[in-house]
Structure formats: structure tokens, C-alpha cells
Chains A and B, each alone.
Chain A
Amino acid sequence: MSAAAETTVLHAHTETLRNALLGLAGATALVSVVGALAFGLPGPAKEAPAAGIETPALVELKPQPFAYRPAGDFSQAGRPTNAALRTVSLDRPLAIMMHQVTVGEYQRCVTDGACPRVAADQRAPADQPMVGVSWRDANAYAAWLSAKLGTTWRLPTDEEWAFAAGSRWHDDVQPEGGVDPAQRWLARYTQESEREDVAQRAPLPVGSFGVNEKGVLDIAGNVWEWTESCFVRRDLAAADGTQTVNCGVRVVQGSHRTYVSDFVRDARAGGCAVGKPPSNLGFRLVRETPAWKRWPTMMARLLKGAVG
């Protein structure tokens, strides 16, 4: 969307507001609302009707080989084990949001009636990552944004997230336990205790956790991100590759990988269950690459396959 179009929409919106406020002699209020809208000033997230929605800032990444360990619970003939760490490549370029969806952005979807209003601090500054959202909320936002922009937006898969995280991706290799399950629990507990973060838990403005080598902001900071990937349980010894896939639980990524039920908005109240919960649940989206943009990669793969 061009800057001119954006201005036009804003202007029209201002007219509507003016009409609404006419009888209230709210001249001062009007100026401040317009100011906030025009300059995107951080401030309390106001319930402004969604005006023109701009395509969010994206980081576009070409496929490259990277180290990845699949998410889920893996066992080998009944014993817990790790999935193999492999070098993989995405099959298409990745266009991922440079920053996590903010309070201000999410509120526009709420105002449009397309996203659930969540209990998380409504007074949070508009330029902070939106937290306290469930996987379902994130998907409602993706659907709304897709409708607004006419392009397809969705949560990244765990693999895509790992690729975008680059050096900030954490391999969650688990200690191998052998026959005694308690040894694995103890080792894992110790590992998690080491990870105990004392970092600021309250969400911070966009950019507070810096940019990684790929140009992605705040990844693996204090806001964990929902992914599209479902929880998988698999016995690697099963010849037929049988696995249980539970899409009621999704992979959550951040400074550690974890699995959270899709309706949960705050995973902190982990309580008596052993394990470190994410501090905050937020998200960023990827823009689906249109098929016509994918074909060069597909062709290259096919050719490579034919040659190899």
C-alpha cells in the first residue's frame, strides 16, 4: 500500500471521527487522537477503528542449510531419546515479520471485532509486543490480517522459526536416560534449573532484545512465540513411522522450546508441574510465498534430484 493511499484512508477516518465527536466539542481530544494515529506514537492502546493496514515490516530469507532438531517427544523402543540433529533447508524463501505483533497492531484486530479481547494489560504501550495471547488468538489475527491485505499470513512452523532465529535458536537436546527414567528427569531438571533466567519478565518495547544476524528483532527474548507445529510423539523404532500428532498442543519457541495447549494465554502458572514455563506468549507471522514465486526453488530441487 502506498503512502498516499494510507494518508487518504487516515483522512477519511478522521472525518468519521470528527462527525462522531461533533456534538461533544471534543476538539482537544480529536487533535490528540489524530496525532497518535498519524505518528504512531507509543501510548495507551486506544480503541481506534482499524484504518488502513500496512504490510508489516518483513525479513525475507533465502533457503540455506541450517541445523535443526525436530520438535516433539521421541523414543527408541520405549526409551526416551532425542530426534537426530540434522542439516535441513526450507523448500521456499521465508518472509517473516521483523518484529513480534505489537499491542497496537493486535488492538486494531480487536477493534474490527476479528480478534478476541484478552485480559492482558489493555493499557500496555502500543509499541510493545502483544502478549497473553493463545494460539487461537494468534490465528484469528492471521486470518484478519490476510483478509485485510489480500495475502496469506500464518504462524511459522517450528522449523521456519528455527531458521529465522539463526544463532539464537537453542537446541533442546535432552539428556539420554537409559533404562532408569529418573536419571533423565533429574538431568533435565538440573538443565532447566541452570537456565533459570533473571531477565526482566515484563514485556519491553520492540527492539529491546536487539536484532539477530538475519535482521529479525527480539527473537528468543522474553516473549515466546507460537508456531504452527503440532506436538508429535514418535517411536523412532516403529518401522511404519507411526506417530501421534496432537494439534491441541502447539510448539512454542523462544529462549527454550516448549509445548503449550492452544487455548492457553499465560503459561507461567506452570506451578507444581516440573519445568520452566515461558514468561510471555506472543507471536509473529510469516507471509506465505505465492506459488509462482516458489517454482524456481522447486525446479532447482527437481533438477538436483534428476542430476543426483
Chain B
Amino acid sequence: MITRRNALMGAAMTALTFTTAARAEAPTKVMTPAAGGDLNLPREKVKLVTPPFVHPHEQATTKGPMIKEFTLVIEEKKVVIDEQGTTFQAMTFNGSMPAPMMVVHQGDYVELTLINPETNTMPHNIDFHAATGALGGGALTHVNPGEQVVLRFKADRTGTFVYHCAPEGMIPWHVVSGMSGTIMVLPREGLKTADGKALKYDKIYYVGEYDLYVPRDENGKYKDYDTPGEAYADTLEVMRGLVPTHVVFNGKVGALTGKNAMTAKVGETIMLVHSQANRDTRPHLIGGHGDYVWETGKFDNPPEKNLETWFIRGGSAGAALYTFKQPGIYAYVNHNLIEAAELGATAHFKVEGKWNDDLMKQVKPPQPIPPQVQGALRKGMIPG
């Protein structure tokens, strides 16, 4: 099947001729349920959900290894990334930034169907940091608009791992345009403290942080483009300056605040997975902590305890467990506060429950400074 778009692109991309020819059989392969039938293991289709939510999953499992089937549909689309209405030519897996989080257990096989619909303009692929070989799968998953591919890899090590698009010559552009997500490979027996005590969470949220580089016109206004291709040259120029115009959680300023704020209850344990596919970041929960934090995201290493801020290396995902102890509004930020407050990297938690005076109490509300203290201050003394 040669699509109209591919025919048009043909001249520019001679290398594609081979794949075009080979593609004739591809649909048959995909439609056969026994694709990858060399493995005689039970299969399970997983329905992905849009972040910050994560599809239902077992935290520990008694089942044996399985083939977990996932589907990602690539979608190039224009999105709005801030309250001023700035538009952005996003490239996404399943339409969201970040792409949906996948959860499997160590020893499971991940079988991904990657679809690049004809409505897109560019070739794409996928590189799983959790996978071994072939550039994380990137070399085996190039799909042009109108193509799909099936890749299987073994989740042989535990942890939270970034996956992202990685087409030759355009890797950073695709990544900072939105094409990244996380796969979490859990130990089959679940998470544990350093001394082997089981750790469980009541709720899980997935925050994907992005540094965005939006070109401006000569008047300093953000430019609007009709296609990713048109935005490419200008965007690359901004990218090379390494100063993002926006640093956002989940695709836009305010994606996780207000009506979209994350929620929890006092006493609930939250698992927070945080990914940044391109550059370093440092999440911090204002007024809270990280009880158990796998800063690098790799569960074979014991979690660190009682962290104030944790470091997520660019190109990785980390995981933090926290049990809320006090109700109220919490801000979850990238603690480069300029990026949090000025560029957008802020999320909120609404936590219901009963206030604990023992943990904190306003002993006396703000009031005018009493005259005797005023007097002491005037004399240059420290009152009290």
C-alpha cells in the first residue's frame, strides 16, 4: 500500500523505498493475534490512560511473566501551552504530553504496536530506556505516516524508565515537542524499603515535565505555525540557546492546577512518578516531603528517606512515595523557582482531611507589633 503522502515524500526520502516495498505484508502481520507467537505466554491488552492518571495495575503479582500489549498512536497537533494562548506544534504519543505511563512487572514482555496515522507529516519511532539493544528499539520502529510497527522487548530490570521518539537527525526536536513518556517496571513482589518491608501506594500520579522552546517574532510575540515542519527551523534556533520559553508539567502551564489539581486524603500514600526526557529537574512538594524516594527511579536500589527535594536527571524518571499528614493545598514544583513560578513548572495537590495542630499551629495570628517590642527594636535590641 503506497499512500498519497508517502508518494509525495518519496523524492525527499529515498531510503524509504525499501520500507515501502516491505510494507505490503505488514498489515497481515499486525492483524494476526499470534504476532510474536514464538513466546508461549499469556497475553494481556492494557488500556492506557491520559496522565497524570495511570492505568489500573497490580503493585505485586503472583502471576507468572506475561506479554503485555500496548498501543501508541502518534499524533502531531497544535496545542495551547499557556494562559496567554501561545500555540505549540506538539508531537505526541496518544495525544498527550507526557505520553501515557505503562506499568508492567519484571520479566514481563512489552509488546507495543506503534501507529503513525496518515494524518501526520513525519516519520517517528520509539526508544525505550527500559529496553536492551537496537537503540532502545528505535532502530526497529521507524514508521512513516500511514505505517505501523510491532516491537517486543523484555522488561528485564525494574524501575521507572523514560521512552521517547528518536528519529535520526531530529531527536531533540521530537523530544522537546512532546514525544516522551514513562514505563514503570515493578518488582514482581512489589516495592520494598531498604530493609525489605513492603511499600504500597493508594494512588499513583504521573507528572511529565517539559522544557519548551517557542520562537518569537520581531515584536517579541510568540509565533504561531500551521505545521511542525514550518516551526522546525525557528524552534531549533531557540533550542540551541538552551533557554526554554516554558517549563511545564503535563504539556501546558496549569495542566495540574485549579480544576485539574491532583487530589489526596490525609493518610493516603501517593506514588509520584516524575519524568524529564531532556534536561535535569528537581521536584519538591511544598509543605510535604518524599518519604521514600527512588531518585534515579531504579527499584533495585534502596529508596532514600525523608527527602526535601529530589533530583531527576535529564532523560530519566524518578519515583517518590509520600503519605499526606496535613490537609490543604500543596504546590508540587520544580524547585528552580524561576521555572516554577515564571515558566510554568507548578502543580497543585488538594488534600482533604483533618488538620493536625501538633504538626503545626499558628500560635498567634499576624498583629501589630506591641509597643514594648517596638521600643526594643528601636534601641537595636532583639526582643524576647
Task: Kindly state whether residue B126 has any CB partner on chain A within 8 Å.
Answer: no
B256 to chain A, nearest CB (A): 12
Q: Find A183's partner among B83, B261, B327 (CB 8 Å cutoff).
A: B327
User: Of the candidates B219, B259, B364, which one forms a contact with A78 in the assembled complex, judged by CB atoms under 8 Å apart?
Assistant: B364
- Contact with A182, one of B328, B331, B364 (Cβ below 8 angstroms): B328
> Which of A192, A193, A271 is within 8 Å of B340, CB to CB?
A271
A148 part of interface (Cβ distance < 8 Å): no
CA separation between A235 and B365, bound complex, in Å? 9
B286 within 8 A of A: yes
Task: Choose among B84, B220, B258 the residue that contacts A192 (Cβ–Cβ < 8 A).
Answer: B258
Q: How large is the interface on B (under 10, 10 to 19, 20 to 34, 35 or more residues)?
A: 20 to 34
With a CB–CB cut-off of 8 A, which chain B residues contact A271?
337, 340-342, 346
Taking CB as reference atom, which chain A residue is nearest B330? A274
Residue B201 lies at the interface, judged by CB distance under 8 Å to chain A: no
- Most chain B CB neighbours (cut-off 10 Å) among A75, A189, A235: A189
- The binding surface of chain A is classed by DSSP as loop
The answer for the CA separation of A78 and B355 in the assembled complex, in Å, is: 16
Using known A-B contacts A180-B355, A193-B258, determine if residue A269 contacts B341 with beta carbons closer than 8 Å.
Answer: yes
Q: How far is the CA of A243 from the CA of B352 in the complex (A)?
A: 32
Q: Is there contact, CB below 8 Å, between B354 and A274?
A: no
Q: Does B366 contact A (CB under 8 A)?
A: yes
Chain A residues whose C-beta falls within 8 Å of the C-beta of B341 in the assembled complex: 269-273
Asked if A189 contacts B364 (CB within 8 A), the reply is no
Q: Which residues of A contact B353 (CB under 8 A)?
A: 182
**Interface positions of A from 97 to 111, Cβ below 8 Å from B:** none
Residues of chain B within 8 A of A244, CB atoms compared:
366-368
A residues with CB within 8 A of B: 75, 78, 121, 123, 179-183, 185-186, 189-190, 192-194, 196, 200-202, 233, 235, 242-244, 268-274, 279
Count A/B pairs, Cβ under 8 Å. 79
Q: Is the CB of A185 within 8 A of B329?
A: yes
Query: Interface code B73-89, partner A: CB below 8 Å = 1, 0 otherwise?
Result: 00000000001110000
Which residue from chain A places its CB closest to the CB of B366 in the assembled complex?
A233
Closest to B332 in A: A272
A128 → chain B closest CB, angstroms: 15
The interface residues of chain A lying within 8 Å CB-to-CB of B346 are: 271-272
> With A and B bound together, what is the CA distance between A271 and B350 in angstroms?
16
Q: A186 and B364 in contact (CB under 8 A), knowing A180-B355, A201-B85?
A: no
Would you give 5 A-B contacts (Cβ < 8 Å), ordered by A?
Answer: A121-B220, A182-B328, A189-B350, A269-B342, A272-B286
Cβ distance A264 to chain B, nearest Cβ, rounded Å:
13
Name the CB-closest residue of B to A122: B219
A181–B85 alpha-carbon span in the complex (Å): 35
Chain A residues with CB below 8 A from B327, complex form:
180, 182-183, 186
A62 to B85, CA, bound (A): 41
Also in contact, A201 and B368, with CB within 8 A (given A192-B258, A193-B259, A272-B346): no
